[in-house]
Amino acid sequence: MSTDVKPTRKNLMEVRERIEFSERGHSTLEDKRDALILEFMDIFEQATDVRSELEADYQDAQRTINMARAMEGDVAVRGAAAALKEHPEITLQSKNVMGVVVPQIESTRVRKTLDQRGYGVLGTSARIDEAASAYEELLETIILAAEVETAMRKMLDEIETTKRRVNALEFKLLPDLRDAEGYIEQKLEEQEREEIFRLKKIKEKKE
């Protein structure tokens, strides 16, 4: 508030309206922040489970591929992998979680039957089938992990953004508005006293 301009009752009402509006916004943002944190904790718990599952699936895939190589030979394993004709298809969609757009990854043709793998059932052993199944399962977990991890990062970014807005209102805008309110109230009181004093002087002169 400039000191060379006399504040008015209108100025005071405008500042009080801004305070009321900012307080409502602050409360709404606090509610949003708290809800986002709860949602984030759910996603974080899911991400922790998926990470454990991913590690287990990776170890299983490594074990089965090593067994297949040992039993069938590296050439046979590579040949079976090269025979694959129908590759997995991944489509990226999105969903809204607490106002945050997070990815939703849809996958098809990840898990396949023996016929769909293309390498011919009679020309391979159960070891190669086990390795193929293990890597299909690993790929599904990788896709799920990508979805959950990305959602978790986006939720965390939104939480940080909301926290900054809450803090800006709580520690900057609202204190400034309340200071302005106090300043205007003080100046209006001074103006009122001056006016009373002026009117009193005028009355004394007339008498």
Cα–Cα distance measured from residue 158 to residue 170, given in angstroms and rounded to the nearest whole number: 18
Of the CATH numbers 1.10.1040.10, 1.10.287.3240, 2.130.10.10, 1.10.3720.10, which one belongs to the domain with range 9-206? Answer: 1.10.287.3240
Q: What does the block give as tokens for 118? A: 């293309």
Q: 31-86 pLDDT, tens per residue?
A: 999 999 999 999 999 999 999 999 999 999 999 999 999 999 998 888 888 887 77
Q: At what angle do helices 9-72 and 174-206 cross, to 10 degrees?
A: 180
Cα–Cα distance measured from residue 14 to residue 26, given in angstroms and rounded to the nearest whole number: 18
Q: 74-102 pLDDT, tens per residue?
A: 988 888 888 877 778 888 889 898 889 98
Burial 156-178 (b: 16+ CB within 10 A, else e): bebbeebeebbeebeeebbeebe
Q: 148-177 pLDDT, tens per residue?
A: 999 999 999 999 999 999 999 999 999 999
